[in-house]
Structure 1
Amino acid sequence: MFLRPLAIFAVLFLLITGCRKGNDPEELYFGKIAFNAVQLPGTPKMDVKYDGRFLDSLVDISGKASVFQAGKTGKLSFYKAGTDSLIVDTLVTILPNTTQSFSVMASTTLGMAGFLTPSPVIQDTLSITLFLNLSPYYKYDVVDLQLSYLKKPGNIITDIALLKNVKNKSFYPQLLKLGQRDPNTGALSVNYVLTLKDPATGNVIPGPKTPYYFLMSNLSSSGNFIFNVNDKAGAMNTQIIRL
């Protein structure tokens, strides 16, 4: 007689615990996308969308952010405000308990658009984002860029690295980190040059006048910079923008 109530109790216990387990709420995770626009000459106001849904507008240096359920993948798009004119976009998967930050560089004046990869400022180091912006004078879609150190006085050029297959009207995908000081003397080393080279032959691509290089100078302090490597009818020029 005692075993029968015990068996009934055991069955009820299993039913109750089974129901509780089945009713446990599903765990949901969320992630955040933060975004801002680097303020350059000619930076337009922007509308920001994720997977086609409007998130917010960027009208100045102030950043914005939105929260989404984790696991979703969609396209983060930046448009010229009030239009369907796309500036730049990228696919983003929402990561749980994580903030993903995106800084957009766009300028109608400079003719550039892309994402900035910020770098911590290191003493005596220049962190450089390179934008190649050649005019039709140079009939190349892709070039090699010879990066060199220019020592003054004497204009002694020492090659540092060859940047291969640099696309015109595009940001170079790698962040350049250059020292400010000569490793041998400790003197400030603030003069660098870039020389255009034909990717097929390795020969220097000449401009309308010598010297055939873009000068990067007058960098008196560490920090993050954009180098807008451009020309006017072939005449080489480098616009340096501190971020």
Structure 2
Amino acid sequence: MADLPLLNKPAVAFLGPLGTYTHQAAYEKFGTDVEYIEKNSIAEVFDSLSTTVDIGIVPQENSIFGPVIETYDCLRRDDPIFVRDEIVLAIQHCLIVRKGVKLSDIDCVMSHEQALGQCRLFIEKHLPHASLKKMPSTSAAAKALLSSPLTCAAICSKACLTVFNGLDMLNEGIQDQHSNFTRFYVVAKPSNNVPSMTERRTRTLLRLSVDVTNKSASIMALLAALRMDCISRNLIP
């Protein structure tokens, strides 16, 4: 007898749509053990923690573009939110096609404008005669493949393969730069399993507010008084 599907799976909200890198980070963390709920903004992810979902996945910082300010703004709310874990994802653009299509068949490449630019060298070397079509997002490009000619390809995350049936990945990691990483926070409301402070070495995320001119010095003095080592800090106005 086949195993019965799990009932009442935990709900995980993420910055959508399906097939984005946030979705990929969530899937690599939780797999098929949860129900994924896409949201239109980071603020919506935080709002849903109070109502419909157990866990949220939000981008915190990118190695090239820096901190995600909207995430920090949401963490500054009065609502008690805990960062339970973090996920570091290497941003790897993939060349996706419909099943059976070969690299030599491709005459059109679709993706978000930034992704097309980030894969310029690969396109110039392997698809020099292909036309480029800008799409609202990388996942929108993957979705468009399903109704496009077989000679079209999309540049997107490999998470799109779990969202849209009938697609194959020809190449992974086709971006020009391979040092692009994004850290995501796993956020949740308080519960009975709040991390204990009894262990000598505990990694903790603190939100501190100081009303003085030299904020950096005041924060470091406070951490020193608490005998806490500061790994990194972000000062947000």
TM range (shorter): under 0.3
Q: TM-score, normalised by structure 2?
A: 0.21
- Structure in which a larger fraction of residues adopt helix: 2
Which has the greater radius of gyration?
1
- Structure in which a larger fraction of residues adopt strand: 1
Which structure has more relative contact order (CA 8 Å, sep 6+)? It is 2
